[in-house]
């Protein structure tokens, strides 16, 4: 059934905040080339992701996957923790 709906987007992100219950705020970073000056700029995006077991800590690298709306702003789930913070 999931294959009929297409592939879900996945992103690598870093946990910025874990103060909410079952929710983490993650930040992704990407490079964008300026159209006129041809210089690469860093663009940031912050997402709220569902963390069912509250296992993520600040600074962890995580893999998030898009999902149905879980609350007013949550549209992502934490699939796995790639690297724990030191």
Q: What is the CATH number of the domain that holds 41?
A: 2.40.50.140
Residue 2 pLDDT level (bands cut at 50, 70, 90): low
pLDDT tens-digit profile of 33-83? 999 999 999 999 999 999 999 999 999 999 999 999 999 999 999 999 999
3 — pLDDT class (breaks 50, 70, 90): low
Query: Which residue from 73, 81, 65, 69 is spatially nearest to 8, judged by alpha carbons?
Result: 65
Could you read off the pLDDT of 13-23 as tens digits, one per residue?
Answer: 999 999 999 99
Max Cα distance, the chain (Å) = 46
Q: What is the DSSP string of 5-32?
A: G-PPPEEEEEEEE--STTEEEEEEEEEE
pTM of structure: 0.85
Count: domains in the chain? 1
Which domain, by its residues, includes 9? 2-83
């Amino acid at each position: 059934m999931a294959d009929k709906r297409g592939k879900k987007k996945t992103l690598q992100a870093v946990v910025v905040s874990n103060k909410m219950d079952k929710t983490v705020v993650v930040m992704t970073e990407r490079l964008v080339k300026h159209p006129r000056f041809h210089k690469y700029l860093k663009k940031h995006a912050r997402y709220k992701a569902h963390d069912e077991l509250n296992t993520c800590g600040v600074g962890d690298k995580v893999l998030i996957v898009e999902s149905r709306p879980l609350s007013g702003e949550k549209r992502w789930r934490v699939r796995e923790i790639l690297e724990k913070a030191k």
